[in-house]
């Protein structure tokens, strides 16, 4: 059985939608950021501060290589997973990769009180716009995309992904 891999920018709904899919399917949810924090013994903000973004991206790459070998999992990735095309290629070999999209205003609304995101230090809106501009073409290159902007509930998104998963599952 294939995995369901959720990618997308921070605040696009990966974790929330992943939890709903897990509830509805009984499949386990693996949150990559939480797993990296658990193994490193520190928060992602601390990893960024102590070892830098390049080190974090290496930990992320190793986690992708490990998780892409599993089956029947829902995997919620970090927003920067798309920066390395090998990450997406690995996940596409063993699962359905769905990119959740959200416009900058939606993202800002969802993360404005979140202090756990190291890339949003300082002016959150400016940072979101800059990072989103760089990553947008990478997110849009993923075959299966769902725009979560303006959706009053994550429920329809979860159902859409489950239906897609059942339609393509071998």
Q: What are the residue ranges spanned by the domains of the chain? A: 3-168
Residue whose tokens read 């986690």: 63
d(CA 39, CA 53): 17
* The CATH fold of domain 3-168: Rossmann fold (3.40.50)
Task: Find the angle CA(81)-CA(74)-CA(138) to the nearest 5 degrees.
Answer: 25
pTM of the model: 0.91
Per-residue pLDDT of 139-163, as tens digits, reads 999 999 999 988 889 999 999 999 9
Average pLDDT over residues 11-38: 94
Per-residue pLDDT of 89-138, as tens digits, reads 999 998 999 999 988 888 878 777 666 665 556 676 787 888 888 898 99
Phi, psi (5° rounding) for residue 145?
Answer: -130, 145
Work out the percent of the chain whose per-residue pLDDT is above 70. Answer: 91
Higher pLDDT, 37 or 130: 37
Cβ atoms of 96 and 144 within 8 Å: the answer is: yes
């Amino acid at each position: 059985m294939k995995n369901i891999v959720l990618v997308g920018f921070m605040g696009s709904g990966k974790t929330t939608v992943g939890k709903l899919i897990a509830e509805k399917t009984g499949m386990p949810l693996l949150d990559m950021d939480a797993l990296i924090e658990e193994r490193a013994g520190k928060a992602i903000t601390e990893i960024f501060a102590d070892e830098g973004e390049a080190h974090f991206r290496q930990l992320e790459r190793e986690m992708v290589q490990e998780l892409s070998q599993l089956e029947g999992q829902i995997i919620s990735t970090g927003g920067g997973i798309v920066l390395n095309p090998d990450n997406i290629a690995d996940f596409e070999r063993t699962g359905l990769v769905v990119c959740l999209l959200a416009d900058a205003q939606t993202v800002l609304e969802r993360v404005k009180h979140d202090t756990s995101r190291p890339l949003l230090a300082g002016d959150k809106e400016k940072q979101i716009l800059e990072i989103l501009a760089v990553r947008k073409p990478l997110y849009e290159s993923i075959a299966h995309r769902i725009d979560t902007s303006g959706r009053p509930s994550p429920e329809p998104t979860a159902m859409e992904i489950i239906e897609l998963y059942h339609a393509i599952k071998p």
